[in-house]
Structure 1
Amino acid sequence: MKLINMTTDKVLVQDLRQAHSFWSRFKGLMFQRSMPSDSALHIYPCRSIHTFFMNFDIDVIYLNEENKVVGIETNLVPGKIGWRYKEARSVVELPSGKIYDISTGDTLAFVE
């Protein structure tokens, strides 16, 4: 699945994995050594995240029900708790340094 910024018409990620079940959300990216540079993880439902038991920094995009960006965090290091956005309904976790050309208010699309 691809992640596309519909506001700028740019492909953000070529390989988007989904974590929509309890166990896949619970595990997330914990204990992985790294994340391929053109991949990301979409966690739904989710309003906030943590990086405990992670081995690398991540960037995080917080989305509302309409997949509009309501928050962005960059370079979140292991062992931290991310912000909690009241409007957020899901998050996309990407390798650190992958968020660029994304702004609050942009609309993202998940495309097969």
Structure 2
Amino acid sequence: MPVSFNSLNLNLIKKVKLIYSDSTYSIKTLIVCNTFFSRLKGMLFSKENHKNAYLIIPCNSIHTFFMGYSIDVVFLNKSGDIVSQFNVDPFKTKSEKEAFAVLEGTRLLKSNNNIVQVVFLC
């Protein structure tokens, strides 16, 4: 069961566990972007790294302008439930009006297996 963002201490979260529809999971190192400049930068100017995931909070839209690679994006509502998930090519935008936070990274999504739950770990 997802946990509300109101009850999370973002300073303590170090990892994120992505649970897929085929009952497999992956664990990524979490980089929290919760200040104006860290949200503005997000993954911009970072090298493609499939070991990290970025939590941009609060956020309900992203862009991939000036990115050299596609990214996977998972929109989450205030309760931590998944609203939608996409692979976004460079120089595109994506938004979700119901979203409160965005989890983004490379190799977050698996073909034919949706993410069914996002669990934040200390």
Does TM-score exceed 0.5, indicating one fold?
yes
SS at the partner of 1:67?
coil
1:24 and 2:38 aligned = yes
In the alignment, the residues of structure 2 paired with residue 63 and residue 40 of structure 1 have an alpha-carbon distance, to the nearest angstrom, of 14
Is the 1:3–1:11 contact (alpha carbons within 8 Å) kept by the matching residues of 2?
no
Provide the TM-score with structure 1 as the length reference.
0.82
5 Å matches for 1:1-112? 1-5=14-18, 11-32=25-46, 34-74=47-87, 76-82=88-94, 84-95=95-106, 97-100=107-110, 101-103=113-115, 106-112=116-122
SS at the partner of 2:62?
coil
Q: Which amino acid aligns with 2:43?
A: L
SS at the partner of 2:93?
coil
In the alignment, the residues of structure 1 paired with residue 66 and residue 29 of structure 2 have an alpha-carbon distance, to the nearest angstrom, of 23
Provide the TM-score with structure 2 as the length reference.
0.76
Is the 1:4–1:10 contact (alpha carbons within 8 Å) kept by the matching residues of 2?
no
Is the 1:5–1:102 contact (alpha carbons within 8 Å) kept by the matching residues of 2?
no
Structure 2, unaligned runs of 5 or more = 1-13
Q: Which amino acid aligns with 2:92?
A: K
Structure 1, unaligned runs of 5 or more = none
CA RMSD of aligned residues (A): 2.0
Deviation at 1:5, TM superposition (A): 3.8
Q: Provide the identity percentage.
A: 31
In the alignment, the residues of structure 1 paired with residue 34 and residue 25 of structure 2 have an alpha-carbon distance, to the nearest angstrom, of 22
- Structure with higher strand content: 2
Deviation at 1:78, TM superposition (A): 1.2
Deviation at 1:14, TM superposition (A): 2.4
Q: How many residues align?
A: 106
Distance change >3 Å, CA 10–CA 111, structure 1 → 2: farther
